[in-house]
Amino acid sequence: MSSTSSSATENQFDIIVIGAGPVGEVLAQSTLDAGLSTAIVEHNLVGGNCAYYACKPSKALLRPVTVAATTQHLSGLRDTGVVADDLLARRSQKVSNYDDTAQKQAIEDVGATVFRGHGRLNGERTVEVHGSDGSVTTLRPNRAVVVTTGTTPNIPPVMEGIPAWDSQDATAAQDIPTRLAIIGGGPVACEAATWMAALGSKVTMLVREGTLLTGLEPFAADILAEQLEYVGVDIQFFTEAAEVRRPDGLDLGLGKVKGGPVTVRTKDSNFLEFDELLLATGHRPALESLNLASVGLTTDDVLEQRTPEWLHVLGDASGQYRLTHMGKYQARQFAQHFLDEDAPRAAADASQQQAPTTQVVFTDPQVAYVGHTEESARDAGYDVITAEADFADVAGAALLRDDVVGKAKIVVDNATNCLVGATMVGTDTAEMLHAATIAIAGQVPVSTLHHAVPVFPTASEVWLGLLEKVS
């Protein structure tokens, strides 16, 4: 089978995957391992946004920023600063200078056929790939079409038609705006504020709500806001744009300042001027270009899993798992059930419900959490007991940073005496989270967790105080 097409060619595969991001790659690897011929369609870079415009480049930017900041809070060291050009060069190196040749070759080497172009449905069990050269290749699946197209940015109505940065511009920054406004207060907004401030921008966050990281434990948002303000970020809560003007706007390319100054009139009638505006206002499943109508479906049908037995949607595109690692888990679970021909469709679609959701916001300090907050656990009907502990009271944490910042909290179900949630804010808590994840996924009782003895002197000794309070 060849990916070479004339104006119209046709190919048949067992599985057709639309979207070559991490979820699509994991699924394709599983189906190939099972001996199924697999095509994967991608209109941009093989590896997806996570590899080139989101997870990897943002962490490539944030890690040196965190290390440099740590030197300012450890005696015995001279302060270390960020070198903007070198940091941006590191970012570019970690994303292979936006060249996906090696990643495309890797998936082809394990047997996948990669088609470049926009994949869309064209009737029952039919996928068309529209190439940039005007060619159209028709693919037909023997077993299934799986959509893993990820998400697309939400653009607030007030910003329609205004040239502005989105999260891809922020991770691919070539210019450093002197005055940068970030609209939003979620993980992307907080991480971008961290690295852009370190690169030299005067960052202002315009946050519609009265808190950052809505939906998390309140203490996490409070600690993070204080630390962002400490490094010079101006956070304006309860602030929403009513009008945005950019008369000299011009899109000069990804990561470049998009023209002249931006004026924002807030709903309080304040006028603010910036050199660039970053929209961190969330994403929605990228389903509009799939031509769902050709098979009698709407976007709502897909999001509510009302699809025919040959069509499946995974990862961000499903509207359920907007985190790379959770989408990859969903793909592995889906493949396991899908490849068992005796397993019902419902099992293949719902198998991902077994895992608690994990996430880390890689700010300084890091915000790491898994499962429920106290509020969401109570809303879900759990009768819970909680415990909190300050990292300042843990000897090992004081060795990581002289002026310790951070707190941990666990949520325990009284009925089972097992954890259902944990939140940790502090130095390197990303590397501590997995212990809580294992405790929740394994339904390990608190009485058993007491026998998991943390090493002295490490920050993980925070568990001793937490477990003592719920015993």
Residue range 56-113, pLDDT digits in tens: 999 999 999 999 999 999 999 988 999 999 999 999 999 999 999 999 999 999 999 9
Residues 6+ apart with CB under 8 A from 351: 330, 333, 334, 336, 337
Q: Which pLDDT value is given to residue 2?
A: 40
Residue range 353-382, pLDDT digits in tens: 579 999 999 999 999 999 999 999 999 999
Residue 411 lies in a domain: yes
pLDDT band per the 50, 70, 90 thresholds, residue 340: confident
Q: Is 48 helix (H, G, I), strand (E, B) or coil?
A: helix
Question: What DSSP character marks residue 363?
Answer: S
Residue 349 has pLDDT above 90, yes or no: no
Nearest-angstrom CA–CA distance, 292 and 43 = 18
Residue 7 has pLDDT above 70, yes or no: no
Residue 62 lies in a domain: no
Tokens 């396991």 identify what position? 336
Q: Check whether residue 15 and residue 147 sit in a common domain.
A: yes
pLDDT band per the 50, 70, 90 thresholds, residue 3: very low
Number of neighbours of residue 80 by Cβ within 10 angstroms: 13
CATH of the domain at 454: 3.30.390.30
Question: What DSSP character marks residue 1?
Answer: -
Mean pLDDT, rounded, for 27-45: 96
Mean pLDDT, rounded, for 398-420: 96
Nearest-angstrom CA–CA distance, 64 and 296 = 50
pLDDT band per the 50, 70, 90 thresholds, residue 5: very low
Q: Which pLDDT value is given to residue 338?
A: 87
Q: Check whether residue 251 and residue 338 sit in a common domain.
A: no
Q: Which pLDDT value is given to residue 322?
A: 82
Residue 234 lies in a domain: yes
Mean pLDDT, rounded, for 347-354: 51
- The last residue of one of the domains, among 227, 251, 281, is 281
Q: Check whether residue 276 and residue 288 sit in a common domain.
A: no
Residue range 103-155, pLDDT digits in tens: 999 999 999 999 999 999 999 999 999 999 999 999 999 999 999 999 999 99
Nearest-angstrom CA–CA distance, 131 and 149 = 17
187-199 vs 218-230: helix crossing angle, rounded to 10: 20
Q: Check whether residue 140 and residue 12 sit in a common domain.
A: yes
Show the tokens assigned to 423. Answer: 């939140």
Q: Check whether residue 124 and residue 204 sit in a common domain.
A: no
Q: Which pLDDT value is given to residue 379?
A: 98
Check whether the bond before 454 is cis (ω within 30° of 0): no
Least confident of 350-359, 396-405, 442-451: 350-359
Q: Check whether residue 291 and residue 262 sit in a common domain.
A: no
Residue 290 lies in a domain: yes
Q: Check whether residue 104 and residue 128 sit in a common domain.
A: yes
Residue range 200-235, pLDDT digits in tens: 999 999 999 999 999 999 999 999 999 999 999 999
Show the tokens assigned to 401. Answer: 């940073």
Number of neighbours of residue 205 by Cβ within 10 angstroms: 26
CATH of the domain at 296: 3.50.50.60
User: Distances in Å between the alpha carbon of 249 and those of 45, 96, 163, 223, 266?
Assistant: 27, 30, 6, 36, 20
Number of neighbours of residue 105 by Cβ within 10 angstroms: 11
Q: Check whether residue 333 and residue 306 sit in a common domain.
A: yes
Q: What percent of the chain has pLDDT over 90?
A: 92
Q: Which pLDDT value is given to residue 8?
A: 54
Residue 231 lies in a domain: yes
Residue 23 has pLDDT above 70, yes or no: yes
Residue 237 lies in a domain: yes
Q: Which pLDDT value is given to residue 4?
A: 41
Residue 422 lies in a domain: yes
Nearest-angstrom CA–CA distance, 155 and 281 = 7
Show the tokens assigned to 442. Answer: 């394994």
Q: Check whether residue 308 and residue 277 sit in a common domain.
A: no
- The last residue of one of the domains, among 265, 281, 297, is 281
Q: Which pLDDT value is given to residue 344?
A: 56
pLDDT band per the 50, 70, 90 thresholds, residue 404: very high
Mean pLDDT, rounded, for 328-344: 83
Residue range 251-290, pLDDT digits in tens: 999 999 999 999 999 999 999 999 999 999 999 999 999 9
Residue 385 has pLDDT above 60, yes or no: yes
Mean pLDDT, rounded, for 153-169: 95
Residue range 288-311, pLDDT digits in tens: 999 999 999 999 999 999 999 999
DSSP notation for 375-388: HHHHHTT--EEEEE
Residue 352 has pLDDT above 80, yes or no: no
Q: Check whether residue 288 and residue 421 sit in a common domain.
A: no
Range(s) of the domain holding residue 140: 8-53+95-152+284-354
Q: Which pLDDT value is given to residue 79?
A: 82
Q: Supply φ then ψ for residue 331, to 5 degrees.
A: -65, -40
Q: Which amino acid is at 383?
A: D
Half-sphere exposure of 278 (CA within 13 A, CB side): 35
String of b and e for 235-255 (b: at least 16 CB within 10 Å)? beeebbbeebebeebeeeeeb
Q: What's the number of domains the chain is made of?
A: 3
User: Distances in Å between the alpha carbon of 287 and those of 20, 317, 410?
Assistant: 15, 7, 37
- The last residue of one of the domains, among 261, 281, 301, is 281
Strands 366-371 and 234-237: unpaired
Nearest-angstrom CA–CA distance, 454 and 457 = 9
Q: Which pLDDT value is given to residue 10?
A: 66
Q: Check whether residue 438 and residue 325 sit in a common domain.
A: no
pLDDT band per the 50, 70, 90 thresholds, residue 1: very low
Residue 437 lies in a domain: yes
User: Distances in Å between the alpha carbon of 266 and those of 177, 277, 450?
Assistant: 21, 14, 52
Mean pLDDT, rounded, for 431-444: 97
DSSP notation for 229-289: HHTT-EEEET--EEEEE-TTB---STTS--BS-EEEEETT--EEEESEEEE---EEE--GG
Q: Does the model's pTM come out above 0.75?
A: yes
Q: Check whether residue 194 and residue 224 sit in a common domain.
A: yes
